[in-house]
Amino acid sequence: MRGSSPRMTTKNHCNRSYITDMRPQDILLPAAAGLCCKPGGFHIDPVRPVERAVITHGHSDHARPGHGTVLATRETLDMMRLRYGDNFAGSTQAIAYGESIRTGDVTIKFHPAGHVLGSAQIAVSCKGTCIVASGDYKDAPDPTCAPFEVVRCDVFITEATFGLPVFRHGDAADEVKKLLASVALFPERAHLVGAYSLGKAQRVIALLRLAGYDAPIYLHGAMEAITSYYQSRGVALGDLRPARGMKKADLAGTITLAPPSATSDIWTRRFPDPVTAFASGWMRVRARARQRGIELPLVISDHADWDGLTATIEATGAREIWVTHGQEDALVHWCKTKGLAARPLDLVGYGDEDEGDTAPAEGFAS
């Protein structure tokens, strides 16, 4: 990284040793700003401004502005520029998947997390001990980002957003079939799909295209910049059009994607008898759908479900598991029943990245 701190040096490999010469807590530990690597002099996904930040992905609960220097994938850095402007950090450094950065006695290596475009797991190695911080991840197929990669390590830091056995997401393609069946059943109505602006919206669009839906898909204005960026990175999304300016009658039988907050807003009144859908892993809990007034819940998540979390933990070969942001206690208990050392990290400041975002108002032609 650049700035007041010396730029990290780069090399194209990262060797892992199974001989643990250093205690994990001497390498990474929870701090007020987030997960801190003292020997490397950086924080991972810090929740407040720090001198040197290593960012896993572009969601706003993990990627915040105001840091001195930021190390992340090119896509994550671009997402931060789109959201926060060109001066979101003092300086930046892009790193590719599989590339290693050396800082002091610590080696950092990025691996695909399968969460959204540019998302990464961070492997931190120091004196024979390897810790992998997963960030947010999923092991399900997603045509809009690089697939999740299992990384063998000594300690695995896993998210636990859906860390309860009740959360089993199923096949996202089946949820898209439900959406298309509803469109066919109600050709006189518009379908509004609430989806987070980064990652979820683009995945839903791609799944619609894979299902054979080739009609124009309409976007709320808050979706346009990020979706256009996905297209610029080679993600095929087909014919996309802005919803603003459309006549109400012309939106009958169409699909529009919007931030979740917009689907319960006055903005929806310009659509003909809209069917409100929401694409989220939380739609497995029907009470949540009812509370939000969701007519068509779609269980589509960009986080690993219970089976994905437990399978990933086993696949890493890690002997120690640290669990963060989510249903920590249940996953810690499961790890212990498998003979693994496990503990919650109790980090704060992470959650559904767009949950608190408000969508800007948009106008329509009458």
Sequence-ordered list of residues with C-beta below 8 angstroms from that of 186, at least 6 positions apart, any chain: 273, 275
Number of domains the chain contains: 2
- Closest Cα partner for 30 from 325, 351, 337? 325
Sheet holding 155-160, edge to edge: 9-11, 100-103, 106-112, 120-126, 129-133, 155-160, 320-326, 341-344
Sequence-ordered list of residues with C-beta below 8 angstroms from that of 220, at least 6 positions apart, any chain: 243, 256, 257, 258, 259, 262, 267, 359, 362
Same domain, 18 and 157: yes
pLDDT tens digits along 284-329: 998 989 988 999 999 999 999 999 999 999 999 999 999 998 889 9
pLDDT tens digits along 116-170: 999 999 999 999 999 999 999 999 999 999 999 999 999 999 999 999 999 999 9
**pLDDT confidence of residue 35:** 96
Q: Which residue has the tokens 């930046």?
A: 92
Residue ranges making up the domain that contains 177? 172-298
Q: Which residue has the tokens 């671009």?
A: 78
Helix, strand, coil % in the chain, rounded to nearest 5: 25, 25, 50
The single-letter code of the amino acid at 279 is A
Query: Which residues on neighbouring strands pair with residue 287, listed in sequence order?
Result: none
**pLDDT confidence of residue 348:** 64
d(CA 85, CA 97): 25
Same domain, 322 and 287: no
Q: Given a cut of 60, is residue 20 above it in pLDDT?
A: no
Q: Please tell me the pTM assigned to this model.
A: 0.90
Mean pLDDT, range 48-75, rounded to an integer: 97
**pLDDT confidence of residue 346:** 79
Q: Is residue 82 domain-resident?
A: yes
Q: Is residue 181 domain-resident?
A: yes
d(CA 137, CA 261): 24
- Closest Cα partner for 1 from 41, 60, 35, 28? 41
pLDDT tens digits along 23-60: 999 999 999 999 999 999 999 999 999 999 999 999 99
**pLDDT confidence of residue 363:** 39
Same domain, 108 and 187: no
Same domain, 39 and 105: yes
Query: Which percentage of the chain shows pLDDT scores above 90?
Result: 84
Same domain, 288 and 312: no
Q: Is residue 183 domain-resident?
A: yes
Mean pLDDT, range 7-25, rounded to an integer: 53
Q: Which residue has the higher pLDDT, 238 or 21?
A: 238
